[in-house]
Copies of this chain bind each other. A is one copy, B any other.
Amino acid sequence: MNAHTHRNRDLFPRPMDLAGGRVDLTHGGGGRAMAQLISELFAAAFANPYLAQGNDMAVMPPVSGRLVMSTDGYVVSPIFFPGGDIGSLAVHGTINDVAMSGARPLYLSASFILEEGLPLADLKRVVESMADAAKKAGVLIVTGDTKVVERGKADGMFIVTTGVGSLQHDLDIAGSMIRPGDAIIVSGTIGDHGVALLSKRENLEFETTIESDSAPLHGLVRAMIEAEPDIHCLRDPTRGGLAATLNELAQQSGLGMIIDEEAVPIRQAVRGACELLGIDPLGVANEGKLIAFCPSNKAEALVAVMRDQPFGKNAAIIGHAQPDSRRLVWLRTSFGSERVVEWFNGEQLPRIC
């Protein structure tokens, strides 16, 4: 992304029609139209000195500590939904993946794949939402790319963000570090993002609008590590929800898990919507929640710290890891019975993120 931040009236005689115009193939062609899009939209919104270098790469100062890197593609449909949009989601989601290592997220890259015909007003709204989300989270979008494909060859817009962070401590926070007896903590209510998306997609009306929980979690992670460095694993239960994440971690750690249905925080409205839709809230995506594993004798104190944070208010201990050669995830239901929480083959809802 080459940013020419000084508007050049010889090169770009007219400002772009960001209100009524549409994306066309020239916007991805490497010529003047692309330069103008970068200058008048991306560079204006993401303004920072690294992006302003205007080269095909960004050069930043040395980073101390171990280097952490994560990438995610965002293909969510629709691109605007209650509580967020594809832009804020693309910032939060990648920040969160970097943060789950315990690292401080520093820089993001953003790659846009746009469908010819996309209203420039939609692109502007998404880009400004990304810029706002990045600013609030204290990360910089330092480099990017734009490609345009012909009408019908993509679905509006896809965004891929890649995050880089710095791990300044020696902790090893990973799925493989979970130990038998570790408490399982969730940072808040589950299912909000998936149900918000599905409600919007299916035009369902509930008494209260259910909003996505999309949020950056690195502040919460920092507070947790400062208070209790003996955290074994952090993971954000996105696609496939709590069910997929716990099963994945059971595989990775070689352990079983058991969670208590009554302990899992779920909003009434989300529970109701899931019943109506016939879906299991444990399998629904979250975009602003994490699960944490720590020694059981440290769990209460950690939950107290989490509850003091804006994105941890409803944190709760929901279960623990246990030896199990079959690596099964069990749910103790509110009736006192136990059932296996299945790791579904796919996702109940496609294009949730």
Contacts and interface: CB of A to CB of B under 8 A. Distances in A.
A68 B73 contact: no
| A68, A155, A235, A350 pick with most chain B CB within 10 angstroms | A350
Interface string A1-21: 010100010110000000000
Contacts of A174: 53-55, 59
Stoichiometry, copies per complex:
2
Dominant SS at the A interface? Answer: mixed
A164 interface: yes
Contacts of A62: 63-67
A29 to B, nearest CB: 3
Contacts of A53: 174, 176
A61 interface: yes
Contact of A75 (B2, B100, B113, B165): B113
Nearest to A233: B55
Contacts of A65: 62
A135 to B, nearest CB: 19
Interface stretch (A123-131, A145-153, A262-270): A145-153
Interface in A26-68: 26-35, 53-68
Contacts of A28: 239, 346-347, 350
Contacts of A35: 248, 251
Interface string A61-81: 111111111111111000000
B75 A326 contact: no
Contact of A55 (B24, B101, B146): B101
Interface string A238-264: 111000100010011000000000000
Given A111-B72, A147-B75, A153-B154, A67 B346 contact: no
Interface residues on A, range: 35 or more
Given A57-B69, A71-B162, A30 B244 contact: yes
A150 to B, nearest CB: 7
Contacts of A58: 68-70
Interface in A312-327: 326
A154 B350 CA distance: 14
Contacts of A69: 57-58, 60, 107, 109, 142-143, 162, 164
A235 B239 CA distance: 39
B109 A145 contact: no
Contacts of A146: 73
A138 to B, nearest CB: 17
A299 interface: no
B251 A8 contact: yes
Contacts of A343: 11, 31-32
Given A55-B175, A62-B65, A154-B155, A29 B346 contact: yes
Given A154-B154, A174-B55, A175-B55, A31 B347 contact: yes
Contacts of A32: 343-345
Contact of A4 (B97, B100, B147, B251): B251
A144 interface: yes
Interface string A101-113: 1010001011111
9 contacts: A27-B346, A28-B239, A31-B346, A55-B174, A57-B70, A59-B66, A73-B112, A113-B158, A150-B350
